[in-house]
Amino acid sequence: MLPGLHHVTAIASDPQANIDFCTGFLGLRLVKKTVNFDDPGTYHLYYGDETGKPGTILTFFPWPGARRGRRGAGEITLISFAVPSGSLSFWMERCRAYGIPFDGPRARFDEEGLVISDPDGSQMELVADAGVDGTPAWPDSPVPAAHAIRKFHSVTLSIEGYALTAELLTGTLGFAPVRESGNRFRFAEGDGGTGAIVDLLCVPAMPRGVQGAGTVHHVAWRTPDSDSQKIWREKLADAGLNVTPVIDRQYFHSIYFREPGGVLFEIAIDPPGFMIDESVQELGHSLKLPPWLEAARASLEQFLPPLRLRQTAAGKRG
């Protein structure tokens, strides 16, 4: 079984605007400032809770000047976060104060959500979820703890054909169907709780998505350790999926494959996490590179644009 979501990675254009939105408006913490290991000339920015626990991590590849993509079939078209119940009125007022358009609240199944867009047009949703009411929030967030984002709620995949993706979810990955309404089909791992949910939207008439700024690059699911990841890799290969070798991402190890609808899936292990090269107090404060890129640090720091971190109410950089 996959315990739930590990992280979601999207594409942005302006890295400073991305930091301002994620840390300033959403109130997430920048837990790691590094580079895209496959394209070191651009940042890879990780946001999450106080320590960047799996299930809270939103990441971005911010390519300056990147062309705008198009959300469509074969993509993740909605990233949903869980906020405490009774928080949507606060978030509507916050959207108005920041000049951010929003849609909703709108009902889906037995929940309500508010849909917003980041500066590049990536669609995100804030779902009022009583299941996170008792969980702690990052104490230095600019968003009051009573309303702050706690973790992911779910992701929504827009798929031309429903059957093959549903078969992969239930037959190989261990998800169970839990709800459906119209062309939306919900699947969940384990007890179906927050952060273990994926919705499939069957959209046969929708144009194919085009990757670029404002679109989601991939979604990562959790697995506890390298041994379980190896088992998953063998299982995926036996199912005929073109799964990658294990790749070292410094803060976790990953395997990648595309589900039948075209969405890039990743299975990432929980350890070692983001505190292997920074203390909890200093997370996100300086550029961190893996050992194999340290020799290029001077040239990378000269090439990458400088970034500013906002000040929190406690006087610490967020």
Average pLDDT for the chain = 94
| Predicted local confidence at residue 1, as pLDDT | 83
- Going by pLDDT thresholds of 50, 70 and 90, the confidence category of residue 275 is very high
Residue 238 maps to a domain: yes
Question: What is the 3-state secondary structure of the chain?
Answer: CCCCEEEEEEEECCHHHHHHHHHHHCCCEEEEEEEECCEEEEEEEEEECCCCCCCCEEEEEECCCCCECECCECEEEEEEEEECCCCHHHHHHHHHHHCCCEEEEEEECCEEEEEEECCCCCEEEEEECHHHCCCCCCCCCCCCCCCCCCEEEEEEEEECCHHHHHHHHHHCCCCEEEEEECCEEEEECCCCCCCCEEEEEECCCCCECECCECCEEEEEEEECCHHHHHHHHHHHHHCCCCCCCCEECCCCEEEEEECCCCCEEEEEECCCCHHHCCCCCCCCCCECCCHHHHHHHHHHHHHCCCCCCCECCCCCEC
Task: Give the model confidence (pLDDT) of 8-18 as tens digits.
Answer: 999 999 999 99
Task: Tell me the whole-structure pTM to 2 decimals.
Answer: 0.95
Q: How far is CA 223 from the centre of its chain?
A: 16
- Going by pLDDT thresholds of 50, 70 and 90, the confidence category of residue 190 is confident
Task: Give the model confidence (pLDDT) of 126-153 as tens digits.
Answer: 999 999 998 999 999 999 999 999 999 9
- Going by pLDDT thresholds of 50, 70 and 90, the confidence category of residue 311 is low
Instruction: Compute the average pLDDT of residues 228-249.
Output: 97
When divided into structural domains, the chain yields a total of 1
Residue 314 maps to a domain: no
Residue 268 maps to a domain: yes
Q: Is the pLDDT of residue 231 over 80?
A: yes
Say which CATH number the domain at 35 has: 3.10.180.10
Task: Give the model confidence (pLDDT) of 62-105 as tens digits.
Answer: 999 999 999 999 999 999 999 999 999 999 999 999 999 999 89
- Going by pLDDT thresholds of 50, 70 and 90, the confidence category of residue 315 is very low
Instruction: Compute the average pLDDT of residues 186-210.
Output: 92
* Phi then psi dihedrals of residue 228, to 5 deg: -70, -35
| Predicted local confidence at residue 309, as pLDDT | 86
Q: Which of 34-38, 132-136, 241-245 has the lowest mean pLDDT?
A: 132-136
Structural domain range at position 57: 5-303
Residue 27 maps to a domain: yes
Q: Is the pLDDT of residue 192 over 80?
A: no
Residue 317 maps to a domain: no
Residue 86 maps to a domain: yes
Residue 311 maps to a domain: no
Residue 53 maps to a domain: yes
